[in-house]
Structures are given as C-alpha cells and as structure tokens.
Amino acid sequence: MPIAVFDFDGTIISRDSLPDFLIRTCGRTAFILRLPLIIILKLTALTGILSTHRAKELVFSSFLRGMSVADFRQACLRYAARIPELVYPAALEEIRKHQEKGDKVVIISASVPDWIRPWAETVGIRQVEGTELEVEGGVLTGRFSTPNCKGTEKVRRLRKLYPDVISETLYVYGDSSGDKELLAIADVPHYKPFNKRQR
C-alpha cells in the first residue's frame, strides 16, 4: 500500500506553527520580550555552538516550562481550531486524494504533535509524529522527550512506523532542509508543492 508523508509547517500550513502557537498561548508581549533570546539561540544553532535540538528546547522552555499538562492540552485544542484557516487548500486536496485511493497518510513534523493531532483527526489522519515533550508530575519540564524530529530523525520515525516502507511506493511532501532526507528516499518527492499556488 502506498505511503504519503507530509511535513506540516510550511507544507500543509502557510507558516511555522511553533512561534504562532507561542504567541497565541502566551501573548504577543511575552513573545516580543523573548525575541532577543530567540534570535540569539537561532544564531547559536546556525553557527553550531548549540545543537538545533537544544536551542529549540531552550526557546520552548522559556515559554512553557512549569505549565500543567491539562492547561497545555487546552491550549493545543484552541490552537488546533485555528489551523483550518492556515491550511493550503491544495494540500488538503492532495491529502484527500491519497485517502480516497486508500494510501496510508502520515504527518511527520519537527513541531510538537500535540497541537497537530486534534486537527489531523478531523481530516482523517491518525498517524502524527513530531518532537515530543517531557512531562514530570503533571507539568511540562521544558525539555523534549524525543530528538528534534527533523532530517534523519524523520526517516527514523517513518521506518519505525512502517518497517516495510522500502517495499512500498513512498510519496513525500516537504518544504525545507529538514525534509531533504525524507525527500531523498521518496519514490515520488514533492518539494514546496503547495505554497507556490494561490491560497
């Protein structure tokens, strides 16, 4: 059975969901106050001083460390309700085409899957992989419990879900360097297929 793998940020939706989620959840003022830190961490990741994983973890921690799981889940549900207005219509159309053909459809994203899954379920996607969060005592620690889900980690997640992927026809939809390893193993790769079209 063919497998269709979709990146999320910039592929299914028109933006990076992490900063958008943080602004919506914590407020624009809180985001602006942390913007210098975000810029510094991004630069340290680009120059290799910090890993992308650690830089991203520090950004996330500065906003949400100590938040209860219950409050976080509610924030994710609120954000998921916003996602339909960000979705590229052509992306949703492509997802539905694969579903109508009976293909397996999965989202593999570097973002935290907790705010993707509620939306994905509304369009019939049951498999969502991403960067998972660590929880202790019912609160977010600010750390990740899995590697940052990009690059080779996306391929590893796919092979974990579908060990026989090499024997199937693989469609991959992505838009960034974090997707290049997945695109490289695809039978049918699609790079920036939807954001070139008018929304």
Residue ranges of alpha helices (H) inside 103-172 are 117-122, 152-161
Cα pseudo-dihedral 133, 106, 190, 101, rounded to 10: -170
Q: Which helix (H) or strand (E) holds 60?
A: helix 52-64
- pLDDT per position as a tens digit, 70-103: 999 999 999 999 999 999 999 999 999 999 999 9
pLDDT at 197: 52
pLDDT at 195: 79
- pLDDT per position as a tens digit, 164-174: 998 999 999 99
Q: Closest Cα to residue 60, out of 142, 148, 136, 138?
A: 142
Stretch 191-195: mean pLDDT: 90
pLDDT at 13: 97
Query: Do residues 78 and 100 lie in contact, with contact meaning Cβ atoms separated by under 8 Å?
Result: no
Is residue 185 predicted with pLDDT exceeding 60?
yes
Place of tokens 């998921």: 80
Q: Closest Cα to residue 128, out of 142, 149, 143, 145?
A: 149
**Cβ neighbours of residue 73 closer than 8 Å, sequence gap 6 or more:** 114
Mean pLDDT in the chain? 95
**Cβ neighbours of residue 163 closer than 8 Å, sequence gap 6 or more:** none
Is residue 198 predicted with pLDDT exceeding 60?
no
pTM, two decimal places: 0.93
Tokens of 147: 């590697």
* Percent over 70 (pLDDT), the chain: 98
pLDDT at 142: 95
- pLDDT per position as a tens digit, 118-175: 999 999 999 999 999 999 999 999 999 999 999 999 999 999 999 999 899 999 999 9
Point out which residues pair with 188 in neighbouring strands. 171
